[in-house]
Amino acid sequence: MVATLEPSTGNSGPWPDHQGEQPPSRIERTAHRCSLHRFVKGLLPAVFDFSCSQESQNRLIDRYGPRLVECPDMSMCHHIGKPMAVGQLGGTGRGVHHYRDTCELTGVDQPHDQGLEINVHLHRHNLARMRSVSAMPELTERDPDHLSTVFSAWLAGRLGPDADPSIVGITAPGSNGFSNETILMTARWSEDGEVADHKLVVRVHPTKHTLFLEADFSLQYKVLSNLQGIAGVPVPNLRWYEEDPAVLGVPFFVMDHVEGRIPADNLPYTMEGWLLESTPEQQETLWWSGIEALAAIHTLDWRALGFEFLADPTHGEPGLEKNMTYYRRFLDWAAGGRPQPTAEAVWEWLVANKPAERGPVVLSWGDSRIGNIIWDDDYQAAAVIDWEMAALGQPELDLGWWLYFDRQFSEGLGIPRPVGFPSHEDTVARYEELIGREVGDLLWYQIFAGWRFAVIMCRLCDLLQGSDLLPGDSDMGTNNLATQFMAQLLGLPSPAEAGSDTST
């Protein structure tokens, strides 16, 4: 999102004492504490709507300052700094702000009868675009009718002509991932004389971009195949892998759909959504279920399960050597010689403070976070998904990634964690109990997680620019939530300042 809701005093802490006044609503608090430009600054242009009552308006003006500057199509937005790109979308108080703009909400000229609430949200269309970065524009260019015909014929070859398969529904959903296309479809076929519908998920090799260095699309299928039926590590049931590009133009694989919910990344689950609205007990249940799944992955005998292919020595021996070498080469490739001041400063810190490895390597999930688990109605992990970053490494590699993203979506945004989430101290103690070994150096592994995410963001910036989803002069590759939060944690200059220094 591109609007910044920050008090003019620069205070980013809790709302001040009310001295007998009525406390602010939950959404007013959210408006106060969300420095949204620190979250998705540079990701995409965003559309947002908001309205508030006269009382809420007055209190916001008291809090954020009395100035109210009318914009062409958004009377409630005061712009600070540079010209604002605002486009009329219809209706008072709607507009488009370029990602570079920093805006301060001060009030509205037309109050609405919505009590004490102030609503700030992305327009559905742009939110879907943000959540489907994985697809870039690719799936939107595929014709659903053509896809249905293609998959019906393909399934007939897999199931046999007597199955008489047909596609009765097909869609391209929004996604939290970045690296693959996803197609959801419902297929109908006959089996043993019974006709039934089957909800399927198709993961498709990207046709116009590659997010990761030396990306191996088949890797996640191999990982999921080796994890089929493993107790404690729920994964989707795999169906088929198709290498022949004659079908879709690229390889793809098919798995069963898993019913459940996934906490959002954009906007993150710490700001809105079903997880934030759940009870503290449900939030705690979800957290521990995720930690138990993570521990189950790390206690597997990866050799016995056939994961030797992850030990390929191209980038070094399995463990920190290989992971650090790979992502260092990834950054060099993604940056293409352009300065990366924050990422380079963090890299120097990582090298200088590299810890000793405490024990044998384990199977590493790679993208280990709450948003990569499908959760059932009981807040238990129904499926662990998105394995394209799978590797061999110390268990702290995944635990650090898990803890880092928990901090990034709370501390990094200046907002609290869900109240039911256990502390990191309790999490580490429970995790050590589950895997039967001590862990350590977790600050280093969290910084390493943030640095790797910054490397990915550097590459993602190019992909978005290449797809005309981001202007060519965007600084997202160097100035994003990952670099901002790492700079905060290590006391480095802000990425915006560091980037400005390199350009002068």
What is the Cα–Cα distance from 436 to 6, expressed in whole angstroms? 45
Domains of the chain in sequence order = 26-131 (no CATH), 134-256 (3.30.200.20), 280-503 (3.90.1200.10)
Average pLDDT over residues 465-471: 83
Question: Which pTM does this prediction carry?
Answer: 0.75
The predicted structure's pLDDT at residue 230: 96
Pair 32, 4: CB distance under 8 Å: no
* Residue predicted with more confidence, 23 or 239: 239
Q: How confident is the model at residue 436 (pLDDT cuts 50, 70, 90)?
A: very high
Q: For 409-438, where are the alpha helices, taking DSSP H only? A: 424-435
Q: Answer yes or no: is pLDDT of 62 > 60.
A: no
Residue 206 in 3-state DSSP?
Answer: coil
Q: Answer yes or no: is pLDDT of 46 > 80.
A: no
For the ranges 42-56, 75-89, 92-106, the one whose mean pLDDT is highest: 42-56
Average pLDDT over residues 214-222: 91
The predicted structure's pLDDT at residue 117: 28
pLDDT single digits (tens) 85-131: 222 222 222 222 322 223 333 333 333 323 222 233 322 222 322 33
Residues 6+ apart with CB under 8 A from 73: 86, 87, 88, 89, 94, 95
Q: Could you tell me the two tokens for 332?
A: 């060099």
233's torsion region: left (phi>0), alpha (psi -120 to 50) or beta? beta
Q: How confident is the model at residue 503 (pLDDT cuts 50, 70, 90)?
A: low
**Catalytically annotated residues:** 367
Q: How far is CA 496 from CA 41, 170, 483, 499, in A?
A: 11, 43, 10, 5
Average pLDDT over residues 302-329: 95
Pair 483, 495: CB distance under 8 Å: yes
For the ranges 65-69, 78-82, 83-87, the one whose mean pLDDT is highest: 65-69
Q: Answer yes or no: is pLDDT of 400 > 60.
A: yes
What is the Cα–Cα distance from 16 to 35, expressed in whole angstroms? 17
The predicted structure's pLDDT at residue 295: 98
Average model confidence (pLDDT) for the chain? Answer: 76
What is the Cα–Cα distance from 309 to 330, expressed in whole angstroms? 20
Q: Answer yes or no: is pLDDT of 169 > 50.
A: yes
Residues 6+ apart with CB under 8 A from 48: 1, 3, 94, 95, 97, 120, 121, 122, 123
pLDDT single digits (tens) 225-275: 999 999 999 999 999 999 999 999 999 999 999 999 999 888 899 999 999
The predicted structure's pLDDT at residue 59: 52
Average pLDDT over residues 77-92: 26
Nearest Cα to 33, choosing from 126, 124, 123, 120?
120
HSE, CB side, 13 Å, CA atoms: give it for residue 263: 26
445's torsion region: left (phi>0), alpha (psi -120 to 50) or beta? alpha
